[in-house]
Amino acid sequence: MERFQVRTQVVSGTDSLSCLGEMDCQRLLIVADPFFVAQGWTNRILEAAKPRESRVFDKVSPDPTVELAAEGTKVLQEFAPDTVVALGGGSTLDLAKAMVHFSGLEPRLVAIPTTSGSGSEVTNFAVLSHQGVKYPVVSDKLYPAVAVLEPGLLETLPKGLIADTGFDVLTHALESYVAKNAGTVTKTLSREAFAIAYAQLPLSYAGDKSVRERLHIAACMAGMAFSQAGLGLCHAMAHVLGGEFHLPHGRLCGILLPAVVECNANFCSGAYGQLARSVGFFGSADTVAVRNLKNGLIRLRKQLGMPGSLREAGIDPRQIQLRQKELTEKILADPCCESNPAEVMDYMVKRILEGVAR
Ligand SMILES: NC(=O)c1ccc[n+]([C@@H]2O[C@H](COP(=O)([O-])OP(=O)(O)OC[C@H]3O[C@@H](n4cnc5c(N)ncnc54)[C@H](O)[C@@H]3O)[C@@H](O)[C@H]2O)c1
Ligand SMILES: [Fe+2]
């Protein structure tokens, strides 16, 4: 038996912000990345939603902390909105989701992503940082009611952000495809998301804005897939290293993903091979197809100007070496390990850490 459920209504395409006008918002709280407040997007939201009263909470920063979520929760409880709109990348969406969750109130949550990456607009997942550790909070209450995929917000994406968030999508797609809870529907979403992201990222990176709407939808599809199928070791490692060294989440995924594929291929080369062939990599033998997939990821990473190791990303390999035991323990405790296709053992983490450090 398989179960698949989409909890979030997804509105996409030009002028999708106008759907806010159908919601009868009386009291609207906008949780927004300050960049979009400055760009006038919060005013556009107010024009579309026409609330009686509104507030803007824009104290958002990358990788939101538990303390920031507590501050935002207080604002939310005091204002008691009927609708919360989250406008920004994964960090903003996660912050708003956590605020709603912790408030004990039940406003309608509308997620408007401005990056094509986290998929947070359709997931039951929010990542918060506390004292250098990133904790994934998982609860069905975290599913937004509506996700608005407005392509106009993608005009200002800088190259580096396209690359980082793009590798986040590839990682969500690949990890969910082979995850323990993957099913027919999630695998179809993962495969299509991977195929779109792999083909279109170089174009978007080179400045072709016409492909960004497709990439935005691919990010959302990968989010739907992983929220049901789960993720894996790459995300467990990216959470821990991101909390410790403050590198962008997708950049860490890009450094780790080929090494994780190589490690997991010892246990699920059939599934990787199937995905690799279906998106155009050659190799009738699984081992060949998986090698081509791994090399393709490394090639794309280079093409997108991304670092190939932690050292290239500015982290001294000695920091990894000295703290290997502690990092490994934290990685093994991350919930994403549970859905990895193979049981995660400390020797696997150690080998990957050694490989990506140099
Ligand atoms: N909840 C989930 O399911 C989930 C999944 C994966 C990752 N995450 C989390 O998401 C976070 C990463 O999110 P992200 O990669 O979307 O980045 P982000 O939200 O951290 O934003 C990064 C930077 O990009 C800027 N930015 C965002 N959109 C822009 C645009 N359109 N134009 C110009 N600048 C823009 C922001 O101002 C910010 O400075 C991490 O904390 C990660 O742990 C969550
Ligand atoms: Fe991610």
DSSP one-letter string for 266-308: HHHHHHHHHHHHHTT---SSHHHHHHHHHHHHHHHHHHTT--S
> For residue 207, what is the DSSP state?
T
Report the distance separating Cα 204 and Cα 211, nearest Å.
6
Per-residue pLDDT tens for 277-309? 999 999 999 999 999 999 999 999 999 999 999
Instruction: Specify if 51 maps to a domain.
Output: yes
| Atom 9 in ligand 1: residue holding the nearest Cα | 90
Instruction: Specify if 292 maps to a domain.
Output: yes
Calculate mean pLDDT across residues 7-28.
97
Residue from 33, 60, 129, 231 to probe ligand 1 pocket by mutation (most atoms less than 8 Å from CB):
33
Ligand 1 close to Cβ of residue 102 (< 6 A): no
Boundary-marking domain end, from 154, 188, 205: 154
pLDDT band at 225, cuts 50/70/90?
Answer: very high
Per-residue pLDDT tens for 160-172? 999 999 999 999 9
The two beta strands, 133-138 and 125-130, are antiparallel
Closest CA to 83 of 51, 120, 109: 109
Instruction: Specify if 4 maps to a domain.
Output: no
If asked whether residues 122 and 196 sit together in one domain, one would say: no
* Cα 171 to ligand 2 centroid, rounded to whole Å: 7
Is this prediction's pTM over 0.85? Answer: yes
If asked whether residues 33 and 142 sit together in one domain, one would say: yes
Going 238 to 241 to 244 to 248, the CA torsion angle's sign is negative
Instruction: Specify if 2 maps to a domain.
Output: no
If asked whether residues 89 and 220 sit together in one domain, one would say: no
User: 52 with 26: CB under 8 angstroms?
Assistant: yes
3-state class (DSSP) for residue 309: coil
Calculate mean pLDDT across residues 129-141.
87
pLDDT band at 198, cuts 50/70/90?
Answer: very high
Instruction: Specify if 340 maps to a domain.
Output: yes
Judged against a pLDDT cut of 90, whether residue 215 lies above it is answered with yes
If asked whether residues 144 and 243 sit together in one domain, one would say: no
Question: Mean pLDDT of all residues in the chain?
Answer: 97
Report the distance separating Cα 308 and Cα 31, nearest Å.
34
Domain count of the fold of the chain: 2
Per-residue pLDDT tens for 107-119? 999 999 999 999 9
Calculate mean pLDDT across residues 125-133.
90
Per-residue pLDDT tens for 69-111? 999 999 999 999 999 999 999 999 999 999 999 999 999 999 9
Interior angle at CA 139, CA 327 and CA 97, nearest 5: 90
3-state class (DSSP) for residue 126: strand
If asked whether residues 199 and 348 sit together in one domain, one would say: yes
> For residue 99, what is the DSSP state?
H
Residue 258 φ/ψ region, left for φ over 0, alpha for ψ in the -120 to 50 degree band, beta for the rest? alpha
Boundary-marking domain end, from 154, 176, 205: 154
Residue from 92, 249, 252, 339 to probe ligand 1 pocket by mutation (most atoms less than 8 Å from CB):
249
User: Beta partners for 57?
Assistant: 31
What share of the chain in percent tops pLDDT 70? 100
Report the distance separating Cα 313 and Cα 157, nearest Å.
21
Instruction: Specify if 346 maps to a domain.
Output: yes
Report the distance separating Cα 279 and Cα 282, nearest Å.
9
If asked whether residues 24 and 90 sit together in one domain, one would say: yes
Burial 112-122 (b: 16+ CB within 10 A, else e): bbbbbbbbbbb
pLDDT band at 353, cuts 50/70/90?
Answer: very high
Task: Name the token pair of 250.
Answer: 């997708």
User: 201 with 166: CB under 8 angstroms?
Assistant: yes
Ligand 1 close to Cβ of residue 165 (< 6 A): yes
Instruction: Specify if 1 maps to a domain.
Output: no
Burial 26-48 (b: 16+ CB within 10 A, else e): ebbbbbbbebbbebebbebbbeb
If asked whether residues 206 and 326 sit together in one domain, one would say: yes
If asked whether residues 123 and 214 sit together in one domain, one would say: no
Domain containing residue 234: 159-357
Boundary-marking domain end, from 154, 185, 206: 154
Instruction: Specify if 301 maps to a domain.
Output: yes
| Atom 25 in ligand 1: residue holding the nearest Cα | 89
Ligand 1 close to Cβ of residue 89 (< 6 A): yes
Q: Where are the beta strands (DSSP E) in 33-158?
A: 53-57, 83-88, 108-113, 125-130, 133-138, 146-149
CATH number of the structural domain spanning residue 64:
3.40.50.1970
CATH number of the structural domain spanning residue 309:
1.20.1090.10
If asked whether residues 249 and 266 sit together in one domain, one would say: yes
If asked whether residues 214 and 336 sit together in one domain, one would say: yes
Q: What is the pLDDT of residue 212?
A: 98
Q: Which atom of ligand 1 is nearest to the CA of 223?
A: 3
Judged against a pLDDT cut of 90, whether residue 264 lies above it is answered with yes
If asked whether residues 207 and 348 sit together in one domain, one would say: yes
pLDDT band at 135, cuts 50/70/90?
Answer: confident
Report the distance separating Cα 325 and Cα 161, nearest Å.
31
* Cα 118 to ligand 1 centroid, rounded to whole Å: 7
If asked whether residues 180 and 289 sit together in one domain, one would say: yes
